[in-house]
């Protein structure tokens, strides 16, 4: 009898807070045939709820608090990079990791670091995307998974999903609708990337929320 040895990509998920995208990645990685597993959860904040989630799910969890580094971003990133090496990490997923990265980490992980951003890039890079989308009156909003490059929220796009902006939406209601899609496309983008097909995301699947019927139409 022969056995097939499948090498799973060892993924580190970098977080700063809640960790709902971490949860989605952990769930996906449990599926048979998924080509990656979460081998490390790393936070820059000791109070990140995602660290507790990692512990509950039996995943190695570490905090490398940025504050003792007193503004020395390179030194903090060196410590993060060393931790990734200690855990034999092959891919990094940023999931609500609220740190601006320097060329040190971005360069070391070029092509192997993914991020999820809550807008349809290149629209609305940066913070407060949902409030800004509402202020602009856009009719479609969404989320993007992209490779991380030095320019913030600007690397090659791996996956996107769109949602409608509905009458009466607040930043919170819109964020909740987008988050559902983040949890769908991030595991899918990681699956494709880890199996060597980063460009294989199907854009036809990106508009997943059915548009509401127009008032007065049958």
Cβ 86 to ligand GRF, closest distance in Å? 24
Nearer to ligand GRF, 75 or 180 (CB): 180
Cβ 38 to ligand GRF, closest distance in Å? 13
Distance CA 145, CA 118 (A): 9
In contact, 132 and 124? CB cutoff 8 Å: yes
Strand partners, 207: 162
Q: Burial level of 139, CB count in 10 A (0-12/13-18/19+)?
A: exposed
Nearer to ligand GRF, 17 or 198 (CB): 17
Catalytic residue chosen out of the listed positions 117, 130, 141, 146:
117
Q: How far is CA 174 from CA 126, 159, 204, in A?
A: 16, 19, 22
Cβ 19 to ligand GRF, closest distance in Å? 5
Give SS3 for 27. Answer: helix
Backbone angles phi, psi at 71, to 5 degrees: 85, -5
Is 130 in the active site?
no
Cβ 17 to ligand GRF, closest distance in Å? 5
* Residue at token pair 């700063």: 16
Distance CA 195, CA 210 (A): 30
Quickly count helices (H) and strands (E) in the chain.
6, 7
Nearer to ligand GRF, 157 or 179 (CB): 179
Interface residues with ligand GRF (CB under 6 A) are 15, 17-21, 95-96, 116-118, 179, 182
- Could you list the active site residues? 117
């Amino acid at each position: 009898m022969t056995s097939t040895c499948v090498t799973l990509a060892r993924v580190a998920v970098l977080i700063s807070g809640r960790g709902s995208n971490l949860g989605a990645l952990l769930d996906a990685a449990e599926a048979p045939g998924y080509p990656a597993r979460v081998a490390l959860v790393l936070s820059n904040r000791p109070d990140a709820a995602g660290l507790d989630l990692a512990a509950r799910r039996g995943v190695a969890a570490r905090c490398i608090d940025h504050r003792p580094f007193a503004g020395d971003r390179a030194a903090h990133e060196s410590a993060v990079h060393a931790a990734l090496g200690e855990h034999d990490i092959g891919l990094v997923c940023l999931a609500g990791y609220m740190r601006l990265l320097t060329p040190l980490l971005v360069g070391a992980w070029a092509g192997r670091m993914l991020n999820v951003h809550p807008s349809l890039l290149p629209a609305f890079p940066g913070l407060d995307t949902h409030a800004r989308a509402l202020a602009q009156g856009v009719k479609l909003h969404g989320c993007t998974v992209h490779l991380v490059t030095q320019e913030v929220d600007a690397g090659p796009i791996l996956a996107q999903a769109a949602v409608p902006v509905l009458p009466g939406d607040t930043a919170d209601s819109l964020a909740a609708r987008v988050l559902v899609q983040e949890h769908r496309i991030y595991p899918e983008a990681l699956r494709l990337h880890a199996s060597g097909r980063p460009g294989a995301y199907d854009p036809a699947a990106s508009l997943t929320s059915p548009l509401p019927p127009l008032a007065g139409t049958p």
